[in-house]
Structure 1
């Protein structure tokens, strides 16, 4: 059974579990369509085909439901990032291949999940539980891609390769997130400009890792 976290009360019977699964799915669907503040519990229950009593039997309200849904979403996202990191490790060789693969792999997953990531990131500014879970997920994601760049450590010319790798990944993530509007309500740019943007980020990260500062 997929994780639902300590934020929800355990079901007393199979029917309750199935109803709550539909509630989680409906919430994820709606978050992909509209902002959190524009969604009501009544609407979630209608889409899930369950009564509001079923929902309140598992959680105390909308904020707690969102925390449960975030746990489910982040578990699935972690699996996606792990599979992408494994794919890059199997296919890319050397810094000139690994860097663009990392930039594009990270960017593709952020773009594919942009609507939901935006919902949780925006809510995380006012909900410390949501914010802490999001930060933990981001750090775990960084670790996967940092490890990929570490395999090319011998090619890096920067005098502090570990610091350069970590800083580079953080900047790539932050820049992609801003481009996609994950920290604000906005629309994605056109696909063509996104592709060029990823190429530019790849070139900048590669140049940074190969840079020998004079100081």
Structure 2
């Protein structure tokens, strides 16, 4: 399902060579984001990383901000697709509430770990650009709704007077904690496994509170 409206549109080049160049620019930008070097990199460096030219960059993308928005847009669309597939309630039907809680948190933590560079850029760009910030809200709402759909399987075990609201709220809480982790780089000396375990406990405990 198409939840996200485009942040930016770039016409697909007609020639195969230009299409390949565009993909290389996107891959180069992704690599720079992963290395936390995108902001300091100039167009010449991006073109060099993409094995292309500055002229081709400007012809296909116009400016560096458009490349960034394309990368963020592609990430959001990928998140939409993965969450839509992985959060199918039928796939979780044989799991206990504890297993569901830890499984959902584990998915979130792994996603943030694998794409920390893009997520860091998304969070920072969202703090500056209202359009990006609005898309982040849409993404978070989508994820929280899908989380609630999975947890609805255990509605009778959730002690909150409004189970769906609780499911959406705890999803936002976990995402907020991971946003903080993405920006600062750590939670003190907490490892990824400990982070998953502790957030899983928070997730389950909140749903179990009377």
If the TM-score is normalised by the length of the shorter chain, which range does it land in? 0.7 to 0.9
Q: In structure 2, the residue corresponding to 1:11 is in which secondary structure?
A: coil
> What is the Cα deviation at residue 33 of structure 1?
0.6
- What secondary structure is seen at the aligned counterpart in 2 of 1:34? coil
1:146 and 2:148 matched: yes
Aligned in 2, Cα 1:88/1:170: closer, same or farther, shift over 3 Å? farther
1:81 equivalenced with 2:83 (yes/no) = yes
Q: How does 1:85-164 map to 2 (within 5 A)?
A: 85-86=87-88, 89-90=91-92, 93-164=95-166
> Contact 1:5–1:68 (CA<8 Å) still a contact in 2?
yes
The 8 Å contact of residues 88 and 102 in structure 1, kept in 2 or not, is answered as: no
1:151-200 superposed Cα distances (whole Å, 9 cap, x missing partner)? 2112112212122111111111111221x2x3x3x434689633223222
Shift of 1:45: 0.6
Instruction: Tell me how many residue pairs correspond in the alignment.
Output: 205
Judging changes above 3 Å, is the alpha-carbon distance between structure 1 residues 203 and 190 closer, same or farther for their aligned structure 2 residues? Answer: same
Residue 64 of structure 1: aligned partner: 66
RMSD: 2.5
The correspondence for 2:203, drawn from 190, 202, 205, is 205
Query: How far apart, CA to CA, are the structure 1 residues paired with 2:122 and 2:72?
Result: 7
CA distance 1:95–1:70, change in 2 (3 Å): same
Using the size of structure 2 for normalisation, the TM-score is: 0.85
**Using the alignment, how far apart are the partners of 1:167 and 1:130 within structure 2?**
22
Kindly indicate whether the alpha-carbon contact (under 8 Å) linking 2:7 and 2:132 is maintained by their aligned counterparts in 1.
Answer: no
Contact 2:166 2:207 in 1 (8 A): yes
Gaps of 5+ in 2: 1-5
Distance 1:174 1:19 in 2: 36
2:93/2:153 contact within 8 Å kept: no
Distance 1:19 1:62, change over 3 A: same
